[in-house]
Amino acid sequence: MKVYFDNAATTPLDPEVFEAMKPLMLDMYGNPSSTHAHGREVRTQIEHARRKVAELLNTIPSEIFFTSGGTEADNTALRCSVDEYGIEHIITSEIEHKAVGQTVDRLVAEGKVRASFVNLDAQGHVDMAHLESLVKDNPKTMISLMHANNEIGTLNNIEAIGELAAEHGALFHSDTVQTMGHYAHDLKKLKADFIVGAAHKFHGPKGVGFLRVNKNRPIGRFIEGGGQERNHRGGTENVYGIVGLAKALEIAYREMDEHQSHVQGLKSSMIEQLKEKVPGVDFNGDIKPENSLYTVLNVSFPEHEDNDMLLFNLDINGISASGGSACSSGANTGSHVLTGIKADPNRQGIRFSFSKYSKQEEVDFVVAKVVEILEPAVV
């Protein structure tokens, strides 16, 4: 059996999305910036996609800017806020995605901002009292905290964080890449200036995403070279990617309740089976359904001489999982997220992440293989 449990890294393309993209690949090939009929036809498709995304997120189309993915969107939100609004202070956490963490580090190194890091508990939850103390009486501040952590799945209360930011006049950016398409985002209620999405996290194509910019916090041009994206992002648009993104998000909202129930059931089953069959197993992050991204489960297995080979052994048994953030694959520095929550450095964290295509028999197979690999440690 081949099992793909690395959906937090990327998800398989939904066939319905592929069908929506095909005409833009084969028949509608005009440049959307051209004024002739071929170009106008394609431009219409982009704007239809923009309206669809805005409708699903309960916002207005002019707030949606298509990008190459979540990383570009995060970089843009942070850098443009510094440039446009003179942000001097960024509050973030030690466990943000590196698209945020490394951008903040670079802005600090360039002498443009100072950074503060909010306290976290052992499960990765933000200490809201500490956050308020950091933002209070600090003008020209931006808070950048993700909705759900991509490695451990712990959810932040971005509604409460948004309220706090608004109360103190701070900008609020949230990396919502892992939750986009998995939870409903109502941007008329959420007090966020910037949120982001990446299509390949919810069964859309790779290489396309979006940045939502609150109309009350407009930003300037962030890529030079042309008048695309309403004079903000130069470069010919990834048209079939944009159409695929909108279709994937439409499907995700259509299937959201069913998807969440199915995937949460698989995650709960794996938790219970591992507790029963692997003495000493532990879980990184909050695993309570109300506090945890239902697609992600991060597991620490008992200390074992083959721990360093566990991912390899899973792979040769046909199981694809991750040792942490997919963006760190190949690095030997370990997981900055597990370090940030002070997890045991001697116990490797394995991230299993699920999708609507995952099956119960796959969960059963993976647990059985883990037990087999770890024997005799679990006997």
Closest CA to 80 of 116, 107, 110: 107
Contact partners, residue 201, CB within 8 Å, separation at least 6: 8, 10, 11, 70, 177, 178, 180, 181
Contact 295, 263 (CB under 8 A): yes
Query: What's the rounded Cα separation, in Å, for the pair 48 and 46?
Result: 5
Can you read off the two tokens belonging to residue 309?
């080979």
Please name the helix (run of DSSP H) or strand (run of DSSP E) that holds residue 375, with its range, or none.
none
Q: How many CB atoms lie within 10 A of CB 87?
A: 21
Q: Classify the phi-psi angles of 186: left when phi > 0, otherwise alpha if psi is within -120 to 50, otherwise beta.
A: beta
**Three-state DSSP state, 303:** coil
Q: Is 90 exposed, middle or buried (0-12, 13-18, 19+ CB in 10 A)?
A: buried
Give the orientation angle of helix 128-135 with respect to helix 158-167, to 10 degrees.
30
* Contact by Cβ (8 Å): 87, 113: yes
DSSP letter, residue 353: E
Report in angstroms the alpha-carbon separations of 29 from 21, 24, 166, 178.
12, 6, 44, 32
3-state secondary structure of 235: coil
Catalytic residue among 25, 108, 184, 327: 327
**CA 35 – CA 295 distance, rounded (Å):** 44
Helix%, strand%, coil% for the chain, nearest 5: 45, 15, 40
80 is catalytic: no
Residues with a known catalytic role: 327
